[in-house]
Chains A and B, each alone.
Chain A
């Protein structure tokens, strides 16, 4: 259960954005969470509710976009769903995947500020 640590880091990043924009209240925080990020979106939403208290994001809505895990095989030039738990071998040529295309995201994509409230 490290979602509270992650939510705290998330709120710190969001506060930095709000500070750069005149401490505007935060209306919405959009994040992407990959299937393999090791983060449970529900636990993160719960933790965000605690971490945002008393900050510019006090009333902010957290919108989580969940990203499926996909890997790429260079030899056959395809991308494939790795599933859960991940199976990182190409289903076409039975060689190890060259890398993960998506699924490890834990990133903020946008912060919506309520500038009219200033």
Chain B
């Protein structure tokens, strides 16, 4: 006999639950986690090294965890800032998951750390799907990567609380069309702020430090449209589909519902960013240009 168990659970519910717990435990010890996502070679490490140094000068206690498939080169570079740094080697895995992150934080994260920067594996696809317990998710790209990158990687840019453009000292040489880039960011993430930075000449480092400091003080980050789910998405019924197979449809009271509730609470970022200002900003793409924006 075939029994159909109605589940309705997020596949990544376990990661989401761990991330929510980590966010809460970090908050209890006064730490804000900042998740940095970008392609390899976008300049995350160079910018983070300057940012760690700047935060240190401002008296903010920072630490950094950097993830790579191999080598400890990034940790050595970041450690020059004087901040506590830990290298995570993913052994080939293309992204960080919350369970993996937690094992590296346990017993290492120094007491009193106000900001923990997590430099994710250089990759704009997979890391976007994993909540690491961050309060601020930053998507970065450099001026040499092409203005349309936000459209090619909509999850990475669409779910970011802040977008950072790096290597602006090369902007002219690279022929980077900043206006097109801003339209493309606005297409996938209306209202998100873009901070222009250069690790070489220091542009935007103070601005970035200020955005992080604001979140530490409790300011609500930008709320991405992509993370704001409408309630109509939940409670979608599938019973008819199950009955059609001639099996007996049954809600899985043995636990699926409690997981279901948990999954819904943690799926997407909407609940923890409720009530945040929705700043549409002046950079919105004009409807006359959708072909270009798309």
Query: Taking beta carbons and an 8 Å cutoff, which residues of A are in contact with B?
Result: 1-2, 5-6, 9-10, 12-13, 16-17, 20-21, 24, 27-28, 30-31, 36-39, 71-72, 83-89, 91, 94-102, 104-116
CB of A110 within 8 A of CB of B242, answer yes
Known: A89-B186, A112-B242, A113-B5. 9 other contacts (CB 8 A): A6-B11, A13-B7, A36-B155, A38-B128, A86-B154, A98-B228, A109-B6, A116-B1, A116-B2
CA distance A36 to B128 in the complex (A): 11
CB of A113 within 8 A of CB of B252, answer no
Q: Offer 14 A-B interface pairs, CB within 8 angstroms, sorted by A.
A: A1-B125, A2-B94, A13-B7, A17-B5, A28-B245, A83-B294, A87-B294, A96-B191, A98-B225, A100-B226, A100-B229, A100-B230, A104-B233, A113-B3
CB of A108 within 8 A of CB of B7, answer yes
Cβ contact of B95, chosen from A5, A39, A91, cutoff 8 A: A5
State whether A108 and B11 are in contact (beta carbons under 8 Å apart), knowing that A87-B293, A94-B284 are contacts in the complex: yes
CA distance A34 to B125 in the complex (A): 15
CA distance A12 to B9 in the complex (A): 12
Cβ contact of B9, chosen from A20, A71, A99, A108, cutoff 8 A: A108
- The A-contacting residues of B in range 90-149, CB under 8 angstroms, are 93-95, 97, 125-126, 128-130
**Closest beta carbon of chain A to B145's beta carbon, Å:** 16
CB of B255 within 8 A of CB of A20, answer yes
B248's closest neighbor in chain A, by CB? A115
A24's closest neighbor in chain B, by CB? B3
Q: Is B270 an interface residue (CB 8 A)?
A: yes
CA distance A118 to B207 in the complex (A): 63
CB of A86 within 8 A of CB of B226, answer yes
Specify which chain A residues have a CB less than 8 angstroms from the CB of B254 in the assembled complex.
Answer: 20-21
Interface core residue of A16, A94, A100, A105 (most chain B CB under 10 Å): A100
CA distance A99 to B129 in the complex (A): 18
Q: Is B262 an interface residue (CB 8 A)?
A: no
Specify which chain A residues have a CB less than 8 angstroms from the CB of B255 in the assembled complex.
Answer: 16, 20
CB of A110 within 8 A of CB of B6, answer yes
Specify which chain B residues have a CB less than 8 angstroms from the CB of A36 in the assembled complex.
Answer: 154-155, 158, 226
- The A-contacting residues of B in range 226-280, CB under 8 angstroms, are 226, 228-230, 232-233, 238, 241-242, 245, 247, 249, 252, 254-256, 263, 267-268, 270, 278, 280
CB of B7 within 8 A of CB of A38, answer no
State whether A38 and B155 are in contact (beta carbons under 8 Å apart), knowing that A9-B12, A17-B252, A87-B187 are contacts in the complex: yes
Interface core residue of B11, B14, B229, B242 (most chain A CB under 10 Å): B11
Specify which chain A residues have a CB less than 8 angstroms from the CB of B5 in the assembled complex.
Answer: 17, 21, 110-113
**Closest beta carbon of chain A to B149's beta carbon, Å:** 11
CB of B9 within 8 A of CB of A97, answer no
CA distance A97 to B223 in the complex (A): 12
